[in-house]
Amino acid sequence: MSQSSLTERRLVEHLRLGSREAFGQIYVRYKGSLCNYCYWLVKEKDRAEDIVHETFLKVWNNIGTLDDSSSFRSWLFTIARNQALLFLRDRRPFEELTDESSSENDDPLHALISTELSDSISSLLNALSPAYRELIVLRVYEGLSYAEIASVTGLSLSAVRVHLYRARKALARLYNEQYGDKDDG
Amino acid sequence: MTGECNRYQMALSASLDGELDTEATRALFFHLAECERCRLFWNSSIRIERELLKEERIRASTALDARVASIGRLGRLGGFGKSLKQSLLRPLLDRAATSPSTLGEKVAQERVSFPYSFAAIVSILAVALGYILGTVQPWLENTMNEREPQVVYVSVLPDITVVGHLTE
Ligand SMILES: [Zn+2]
């Protein structure tokens, strides 16, 4: 059986044993997702690639610390997220969401640019504040489950659910302003 | 909008994510059948996701591929390598990190405080490492590249002709 047909879990097991081929396959599988995720966090393509490089360096050196191979994807995104937040720490604030803030009245829309929408749908994402945008990217682009998003962001499952709803609500409001539908309420 | 609609729209969002159980999904669709406001939210959300997924994604460059490909060529940072780094370099790195001085002052400080015995150990290790790498590195490279065919080029100027593949 060729390694390409191995499940992710077996790839991770091979990686644990030091297989560079497994490492390469995991990289190929996730490089696009991680570049895209990190780009939406730091908004600079070159820095996003630096972060992805750092992430894979840590994966190679620290795979032994991963307890459960089935949680590899969350672990990978968590490393990337930590690297990105480290980069952002001195540059611009990234106000993380909390379980409590899901019940508050904070606006998911980024006040500064919400009025400067261009034709591109991705400008809607730009109009979201970074922490809400991150949830949409993880869910819609990268296809992570609520449990995985909770693991990556440190939120509870119910907070992930509420925040994603709020992010969608804000996107729908912008979308309907931009493209002419009535207010969705 | 009623609180009921709020609850249904939250369920609607979870449903789009495949995170709603069957019973709740059924209730949601009953509500959608009779609530135009929630239908509008449903339609907008679906359209937005479809549009977002149509957008071109950020791709990894070939430069990143090359950087990541070089990871692990000399094995993992663990075992002997890690303990060596921690025992010998950690004190220096810690001192450099805690020193509030400028880079120039840091370098001067390191020069002054660098112990001769430590320098002797580093020199011996460097010679030994050079010897080991000289013999082990080619073997490591061969081992890691064993599945990659080597292309043999014979140059007949000005063209270059590929005449075969060598695999070890
Ligand atoms: Zn409704």
CATH T-level topology, domain A1-96: Rna Polymerase Sigma Factor; Chain: A (1.10.1740)
Interface touch A49/B60, C-beta < 8 Å: yes
| ipTM of model | 0.83
Q: Which residues of B touch A145 (CB under 8 A)?
A: 19
Mapped onto helix, strand or coil, the DSSP state of residue B156 is: strand
**Confidence bin at B3 (pLDDT 50/70/90):** confident
The answer to whether residue A92 scores a pLDDT higher than 50 is yes
pLDDT number for residue A99? 78
Section A133-152 average pLDDT: 97
CB-nearest partner of B10 from A52, A141, A162: A162
The answer to whether residue A159 scores a pLDDT higher than 90 is yes
pLDDT tens string B91-101: 433 343 333 33
CB-nearest partner of B55 from A53, A121, A182: A121
**Confidence bin at B33 (pLDDT 50/70/90):** very high
Find, among B26, B43, B20, B12, the residue nearest to A146 by Cα: B20
Query: What is the enclosing helix (H) or strand (E) of A94?
Result: none
Phi and psi at B45, nearest 5°, equal -65, -40
Q: Which residues of A touch B76 (CB under 8 A)?
A: 18, 60-61
Which residues lie across from B107 on neighbouring strands? none
The answer to whether residue B149 scores a pLDDT higher than 80 is no
Interface touch B17/A45, C-beta < 8 Å: no
The answer to whether residue A20 scores a pLDDT higher than 60 is yes
pLDDT tens string A43-81: 999 999 999 999 999 999 999 999 898 899 999 999 999
pLDDT number for residue A5? 40
- Domain ranges within chain A, ordered by starting residue: 1-96
